C-alpha cells in the first residue's frame, strides 16, 4: 500500500543542506542495518541519490557565492589602492 501524501517525505528540492544530510545518513544507516526489504532498500537508494544531488547543488551554489564575494573583495581592495 502506498503512503498517503501527508506521510510522505518532503520533496528533496525543499530541503536545506543539513536536513538533506540528516535524511541521507538515516537512509544509509537503515540500509546498512540489513533490516529492510529489497524494495525498501532500492527506494532508499533512489531517494539517497536525489539527496546527494541536492547537497551537491547547495554546496556548488555556496561555493559560487563565495567565489563571487572574493572577486568583489579583490575589486574593492584594488579601488582603495587607487584612491
In a domain, 5, yes or no: no
In a domain, 8, yes or no: no
Q: Residue 27: CB partners within 8 Å, gap ≥ 6?
A: 44, 45, 47, 48, 51
| pLDDT confidence of residue 80 | 73
9-23: pLDDT as tens digits:
899 999 999 999 999
| pLDDT confidence of residue 77 | 82
Contact by Cβ (8 Å): 46, 23: no
In a domain, 2, yes or no: no
In a domain, 35, yes or no: yes
Q: Which residues of 62-71 are buried (b: 16+ CB within 10 A; e: fewer)?
A: eeeeeeeeee
User: What is the count of structural domains for the chain?
Assistant: 1
* Domain of residue 34, residue span: 14-82
In a domain, 74, yes or no: yes
In a domain, 47, yes or no: yes
22-62: pLDDT as tens digits:
999 999 999 999 999 999 999 999 999 999 999 999 999 99
> Above 90 in pLDDT, residue 6?
no
In a domain, 36, yes or no: yes
Amino acid at each position: 500500500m502506498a503512503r498517503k501524501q501527508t506521510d510522505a517525505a518532503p520533496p528533496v528540492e525543499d530541503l536545506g543542506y543539513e536536513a538533506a544530510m540528516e535524511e541521507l545518513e538515516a537512509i544509509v544507516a537503515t540500509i546498512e542495518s540489513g533490516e529492510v526489504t529489497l524494495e525498501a532498500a532500492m527506494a532508499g537508494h533512489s531517494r539517497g541519490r536525489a539527496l546527494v544531488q541536492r547537497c551537491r547543488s547547495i554546496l556548488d551554489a555556496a561555493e559560487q557565492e563565495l567565489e563571487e564575494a572574493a572577486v568583489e573583495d579583490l575589486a574593492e581592495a584594488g579601488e582603495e589602492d587607487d584612491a
